[in-house]
Chains A and B, each alone.
Chain A
Amino acid sequence: MASVSLKQVRKSFGHTEVVHGVDVSIDDGEFVVLVGPSGCGKSTLLRMIAGLEEITDGEIYIGDRLVNAIAPKQRDIAMVFQNYALYPHMTVFDNMAFSMKLAGRSKREQRERVDEAARILGLEEYLERFPRQLSGGQRQRVAMGRAIVRKPQVFLFDEPLSNLDAKLRVQMRTEIRELHQRLKTTSVYVTHDQIEAMTMADKIVVMNGGHVEQIGSPLDLYDYPANLFVAGFIGSPAMNFLHGSLVTTTSGRAVRLAPDCTLAAGPTEEPDGRKVVLGVRPEHLVINGPAAAGVEAEVIVTEPTGADTQVFCRMAGREVAAISRERHLFAPTTRIRLDVMEGKACLFDPETGQRL
């Protein structure tokens, strides 16, 4: 096992730079998820760690070793591809044993290691089958088996679950997590799905447009997003953003969204009159709270999911989502009051998008 560190890593294709100086350090045994919208450079970054893409500038270390000029096979890594990249003309056993065969390991060792991996992944019955004869989930397991038989320093996952159906995706998510807890191998996992990132990661790296937006634990990112991008990307339904300006009211600092329409902003050093974006997560909006506090809103639609109820409404000319544990059943155009839970509001600079 090993740590991985990226120092000012850049990547250009021709004259277009797609990764602009990324610094990430990954501890030994950590499960790190690179997440971001498509085209943000997360896969390119992973492929640079794997050695499948050249590093234009900067340094990548695996353990203490600078790997910039080292071929993929000597980096002691294993990778699980999005489309699995199983060798179609080889049986499951041969797929998993291929790397050991190339390395000239004995037949006995190959057999032992493949059997062990197959047992962990529940593939014992399928070792003589060809990839074509397997279901999507089984192929996914074979791809992971191929990675774990090598006992690498680092696992790299490139959107491994995006070809599976929703139910299987949730199941495999748990399996990969369990596997990591069992093997404790440093893992770098790329996905565009923020729920995968939240549920699987020890540490999330949020990327956008070739830059790192924020690095932190899932709940840190959720509670303390560094900027509007992270705030909007993490969480579903997304955080509500309301433009307004700071004022001081009798009950403390607040954001005026419209005349006679203010929401509590919590303590802040910023001066009155400053233009801000107020960010509130849907579950931090109180519907029809005890006092007559808050702002009036008009219900557009109510979506009960059983565990909670999502209420979409219009407030100060903007659409806002609220989630409540109570089973509200508002008819459309019902007028309700929304208020922000104390200490749960985030303020952002509307120009730079940074959190204030």
Chain B
Amino acid sequence: MRSQTLNRWLDNRNVLGLLFMLPAAAILLVFLTYPLGLGVWLGFTDAKVGRGGGWIGLENYQWLWEDSVFRLSIFNTFLYTVVASVIKFVLGLWLALLLNRHLPFKSFLRAIVLLPFIVPTVLSAIAFWWIYDAQFSVLSWTLVKMGLIDEYINFLGEPNLARASTIAANVWRGVPFVAICLLAGLQTISPALYEAAAIDGATPWQQFRNITLPMLSPIIAVVMTFSVLFTFTDFQLIWVLTRGGPINATHLMATLSFQRAIPGGALGEGAAIATAMIPFLLAAILFSYFGLQRRKWQQGGADK
């Protein structure tokens, strides 16, 4: 009798579906929902490292609102994200267009372009640390030898120079992802469209404007969303290069959160900073959600 009931249950579509969803749901709950919930909750407490805190409501946020370093970190994060993303997009698109042509050693070049992407971030950050070093910088050395400058540049020592340097390092690391994704997108565009456009009288620039860009726009939306999310939450590169310095000029929200929470011991406050990133990230996701909605021309028609 019991096995019959069990069998009937297992034949039920809904029960079966629930069973199959269970492992994935468990992983999401344990590794995503719980830490996220814990983080948000910590943001409302005065927890310190080694001491569970009590509920203090919005006090952390009130305190942060007055905190000029926190405000600076928001500004830094936006500057970092916007400038780096724009440069990554432009360079990535340019690289993708170049790689999409018939070049000698095409696959070799494509593999090379991916290199910055496969090196662990911390390793490339350490390399950049040396490149930017005040005394041993190979960049400064080259420029001096070329006679362009007289003394070594303190790349990571001056606020604006440090911002530019960290952005450059982030761009170097992020361009391959953008370039390779856009290259994949470019390759889905039928060459016949360009031939038709050439016969219709389009110049190369008009072909780019009227064919390449609109056909690529769905992929651009996906790639740039990911790129923005990655850049906004960047931590490793900054932490290795500057730890947020000089004078907090390169502190991003992620690095500030970590610094306050772990080395600083103020878990609650760090969690509040991390939680403060959520609205911005949600906004970026919503933006792409609406941007990603299938364009009208992609809808309808079952066959290609």
Residue in B199, B200, B300 whose beta carbon sits within 8 Å of that of A133 in the complex: B300
Interface residues of B in 189-210 (CB under 8 A from A): 190, 192-193, 195-202, 206, 210
Residue of A79, A88, A90, A131 ringed by the most chain B CB atoms within 10 A: A88
Question: How distant is A153 from chain B, measured CB to nearest CB, in Å?
Answer: 13
B298 at the interface (CB under 8 A from A): yes
Q: Does B214 contact A (CB under 8 A)?
A: yes
Give Cα distance in the complex from A83 to B202, angstroms.
20
Return the chain B residue nearest A81 by Cβ.
B192
- Tell me, rounded to whole Å, the shortest Cβ–Cβ distance linking B37 to chain A: 43
A51: B residues at CB distance < 8 A: 198-199
Tell me if B193 and A52 are in contact (CB < 8 A): no
With A89-B214, A90-B297 as contacts: A52 and B200 at CB distance below 8 Å: no
**Interface presence of A331 (CB below 8 A):** no
Stretch at the interface among A95-103, A106-114, A335-343: A95-103
Is A15 at the interface (CB under 8 A from chain B)? no
Is A73 engaged at the interface, CB distance under 8 Å to the other chain? yes
Does B293 reach chain A (CB closer than 8 Å)?
Answer: no
Q: Tell whether A73 pairs with B300 under 8 Å between CB atoms, given A83-B192, A102-B206.
A: no
Smallest CB separation, A154 vs chain B (Å): 11
Chain A CB within 10 Å, residue with most, of B195, B197, B199: B199
| Alpha-carbon separation in the docked complex, A50 to B297 (Å) | 29
Known contacts A102-B206, A130-B296, A132-B297; A85/B190 CB under 8 A: yes
Q: Which residues of B contact A77 (CB under 8 A)?
A: 199
Instruction: Evaluate contact between B295 and A89: CB separation under 8 angstroms.
Output: yes
A330 contacts chain B at the CB level, 8 A cutoff = no
Is the Cβ of B198 less than 8 Å from the Cβ of A133? Answer: no
Q: Does B4 contact A (CB under 8 A)?
A: no
In the complex, whether B301 has a CB less than 8 A from a CB of chain A is: yes
Per a CB cutoff under 8 Å, which of A81, A82, A103 touches B201?
A103
Query: Is there contact, CB below 8 Å, between A130 and B297?
Result: yes
- A88 with B202: CB separation less than 8 A: no
Interface residue A126 (Cβ < 8 Å from any Cβ of B): no
What CA separation (Å) do A27 and B297 show in the bound complex? 41
Complex Cα distance A134/B303, Å? 10
Chain A interface size range: 20 to 34
* Contact call A98/B301, Cβ cutoff below 8 A: no
Q: Are A85 and B193 in contact (CB under 8 A)?
A: yes
CA distance A134 to B299 in the complex (A): 11
Q: Which residue of B lies closest to A88 (CB)?
A: B297
Q: How far is the CB of B193 from chain A (nearest CB, A)?
A: 5
**Interchain nearest-CB distance for B31 vs A (Å):** 40
Across-interface contacts of B303 in A (CB, < 8 A): 136
A-contacting residues, B172-225, CB 8 Å: 190, 192-193, 195-202, 206, 210-211, 214-215
A149 to chain B, nearest CB (A): 10
Interface hub of B196, B198, B206, B215 (most chain A Cβ within 10 A): B196
Whole-angstrom CA separation of A99 from B197 in the bound complex = 8
Which residues in window 108-147 of A have CB below 8 A to B? Answer: 130-134, 136, 146
Q: Which of A206-221 contact B (CB under 8 A)?
A: none
B197: chain A residues within 8 A (beta carbon)? 87, 98
- B28-69, CB < 8 A from A: none
* Other-chain residue from B202, B295, B298 in contact with A102 (beta carbon distance below 8 A): B202
Please determine whether A85 and B192 come into contact, CB atoms closer than 8 angstroms: yes
Residue of B nearest to A74 (CB): B201
Residues on the B chain within 8 Å of A90, using CB: 297
- Are A98 and B210 neighbours in the complex by a CB distance under 8 Å? yes
Q: Smallest Cβ distance from B208 to chain A, in angstroms?
A: 13
Query: Chain A CB within 10 Å — which of B201, B202, B210 has the most?
Result: B201
Residues of B within 8 A of A146 (CB): 196, 200
Q: Are B215 and A132 in contact (CB under 8 A)?
A: no
User: Would B215 and A99 count as touching, CB distance under 8 A?
Assistant: no
Query: Which residues from A are CB-within-8-Å of B300?
Result: 130, 132-133
Docked-complex contact A85 and B196, CB < 8 angstroms: yes
Query: Chain B nearest CB: distance from A9 CB in Å?
Result: 19
| A72-B190 contact, Cβ under 8 Å, with A102-B206, A132-B300 | no
Report Cα–Cα, A88/B303, bound state, in Å.
13
Q: Taking A83-B192, A132-B300 as contacts, is the C-beta distance between A89 and B215 under 8 angstroms? A: yes
Is A78 an interface residue when CB atoms closer than 8 A count as contact?
yes
Indicate if the CB atoms of B301 and A78 lie closer than 8 Å. Answer: no
The complex places the Cα of A352 from the Cα of B215 at a distance, in Å, of: 52
Which residues from A are CB-within-8-Å of B298?
Answer: 88, 132
Q: Please, how many angstroms separate the alpha-carbon atoms of A338 and B190 in the complex?
A: 54
CA distance A88 to B198 in the complex (A): 16
Q: Which of A73, A83, A102, A136 contacts B190 (CB 8 A)?
A: A83
A-B contact pairs, 14 of them (CB 8 A): A50-B195, A50-B199, A51-B198, A73-B200, A79-B195, A81-B192, A89-B214, A98-B200, A98-B202, A99-B201, A102-B201, A130-B300, A131-B301, A150-B200
Closest 5 CB pairs of A and B: A132-B301, A73-B201, A85-B192, A99-B200, A85-B196
Task: Please give the residue numbers on chain A whose beta carbons come within 8 Å of chain B beta carbons, in ascending order.
Answer: 50-52, 71-73, 77-79, 81-83, 85-90, 98-99, 102-103, 130-134, 136, 146, 150
Interface residues, chain B, with chain A CB atoms under 8 Å away: 190, 192-193, 195-202, 206, 210-211, 214-215, 295-301, 303
With A51-B199, A79-B199 known, 12 other A-B pairs at CB within 8 A are: A50-B199, A51-B198, A52-B198, A79-B195, A81-B192, A87-B193, A87-B210, A88-B215, A89-B214, A89-B297, A130-B299, A132-B299
